[in-house]
Amino acid sequence: MPSPPTIAILGTFDTKGPEHAFIADAIRRQGFDTKLIDAGSMGTPALAADIPAAQVAATGDDNWREILARKDRGECVALMGRGAACVVAGLAAEGKIHGIISLGGGGGTAIATAAMRALPLGFPKLMVSTLASGNTAAYVGTSDLVMFPAVVDVAGINRVSRAIFENAAGAICGMVAAAEKRRGRTSSDKPLVVASMFGNTTACVTEAKRIIEAAGYEVLVFHATGTGGRGMEALIASGLVAGVLDITTTEWADELVGGILGAGRERLDAAAKARVPAIIAPGCLDMVNFGERASVPARFSDRRFYQHNPQVTLMRTTPAECAELGRIIAEKVNRYLAPVTVLLPRRAISIISAPGQPFHDPEADEALFAAVRKSLRPGIPVVEMELEINDPVFARACADALLRNIDAPRSESAFMEGRAPPGPRA
């Protein structure tokens, strides 16, 4: 009979040994093997490990002894996070672990989630944390790790923690069982295309996606909410992507103006670095996102707003902001080495910027388009269409342009000299 799947139990066994022992026992009772990995750095472990803390630390830094001797908590946490990431990534790559779980407070959560972020998408990973009900962006990043609220501190087994830990053990076992069933299936060998979408560009992306999938590609859609943009950029950078359908570049509006859905100043960089064919459109650059109306900073009190729902307030970008956004987008695209096309829907860049809609502002839109035209280097095709972004004709133009760019000869010198990609597909 084949061996049962192995679940890694990663934690600081010097401070939370009994709790990790409890969850390891709960996992074994469900028929899974365990591998105990100690990431503690501040004392004697209360639980014997298959991979001891010294091995984890040595993997994290050649000078690990000196770092641990200084007993600086922040420095030790960073060291053990680096080491744990290397250890679990290696075990996963070798097929020696099939899932991972950890329990922790602040330090333990930082260490374990650093390790979990080093694991591939789809690999089961669960963090039981006292921090799980707050802002978890720094811990989750662009990974698919699950944050499971500890409710009480990870400090002993009691009537509350017992139920929480047993549920968590059941959850990771279920995740691993699902992953094992998936392992035997044949995965799609279709080349990947990634796309950015917002509620205000859904119709455009949906139609473009349909066309690209009909051409033999698998399309992964990312919600342009900051996290989605970062996730898309990370996947592009991984080298697994054949094309980028970046219709919704709205995250740059939040990044520039100060909204809550910025994706970082690296947004739009990955396609340049990975040399992936792309199309770029200014989808939803007419809006900056905030939470409920009361959350909008006072400095924006005189601006134009639209209440998307009770939890989301949209603010119209000004002509000056749009001009700067056009410059930024163009300068990002200027670094692309694979074929790229910029498409501009002149009648509306979102549902609500169309004529008669709340964010209709031809002056702001023209400032955006003019800045793109002025700032793009020669040789990058710009397609301007007197259509709204969600018009199916514009969607088809985006899809066809991307398919042409993917099919274009990948000659860097020809592209950098300013020669455009081949003409329209038959």
Asked if residue 385 has pLDDT above 90, the reply is: yes
CA distance linking residue 300 with residue 61, whole number of Å = 47
CA distance linking residue 104 with residue 119, whole number of Å = 19
Asked if residue 365 has pLDDT above 80, the reply is: yes
pLDDT of residue 183: 81
Least confident stretch, 340-349, 367-376, 409-418: 409-418
Where does 192-416 sit in CATH, by number?
Answer: 3.40.50.12030
User: Which tens digits make up the pLDDT trace of 17-64?
Assistant: 999 999 999 999 999 999 999 999 978 898 999 999 999 999 999 999
Q: Is 192-416 the same fold as 6-183?
A: yes
CA distance linking residue 141 with residue 146, whole number of Å = 11
CATH topology (fold) of 6-183: Rossmann fold (3.40.50)
- Specify which residues 388 forms β-bridges with: 348
Asked if residue 116 has pLDDT above 60, the reply is: yes
User: Which tens digits make up the pLDDT trace of 227-273?
Assistant: 999 999 999 998 889 999 999 999 999 999 999 999 999 999 999 99
User: Which tens digits make up the pLDDT trace of 117-133?
Assistant: 999 888 999 999 999 98
User: Which tens digits make up the pLDDT trace of 276-309?
Assistant: 999 999 999 999 999 999 999 999 999 999 998 8
pLDDT of residue 410: 60
Domains in the chain: boundaries: 6-183, 192-416
CA distance linking residue 13 with residue 303, whole number of Å = 54
Percentage, residues of the chain above pLDDT 70: 95
242 Cβ contact list (under 8 Å, min separation 6): 191, 192, 193, 217, 276, 277, 406
φ/ψ bin of 70: left (φ > 0), alpha (ψ from -120 to 50), beta (otherwise): alpha
pLDDT of residue 422: 38
pTM (global) more than 0.85 = no
Average pLDDT over residues 193-197: 98
With tokens 């990790």, the residue in question is 20
Asked if residue 187 has pLDDT above 70, the reply is: no
pLDDT of residue 322: 98
CA distance linking residue 418 with residue 405, whole number of Å = 14
Contact 39, 80 (CB under 8 A): yes
User: Which tens digits make up the pLDDT trace of 58-81?
Assistant: 999 999 999 999 989 999 999 999
Average pLDDT over residues 390-401: 98
CA distance linking residue 267 with residue 254, whole number of Å = 12
User: Which tens digits make up the pLDDT trace of 405-425?
Assistant: 999 976 544 444 444 443 333
Asked if residue 1 has pLDDT above 50, the reply is: yes
- 3-state SS string over the chain? CCCCCEEEEEECHHHHHHHHHHHHHHHHHCCCEEEEEECCCCCCCCCCCCECHHHHHHHHCCCHHHHHHHCCHHHHHHHHHHHHHHHHHHHHHCCCCCEEEEEECHHHHHHHHHHHHCCCCCCCEEEEECCCCCCCHHHHCCCCCEEEECCCCCCCCCHHHHHHHHHHHHHHHHHHHHHHHHHCCCCCCCCEEEEEECHHHHHHHHHHHHHHHHCCCEEEEEECCCHHHHHHHHHHHCCCEEEEEECECCHHHHHHHCCCCCCCCCCCCHHHHHCCCEEECECCCCEEEECCHHHCCHHHCCCCEEEEECCEEEEECCHHHHHHHHHHHHHHHCCCCCCEEEEEECCECCHHHCCCCCCCCHHHHHHHHHHHHHHCCCCCCEEEECCECCCHHHHHHHHHHHHHHHHCCCCHHHHHCCCCCCCCCC
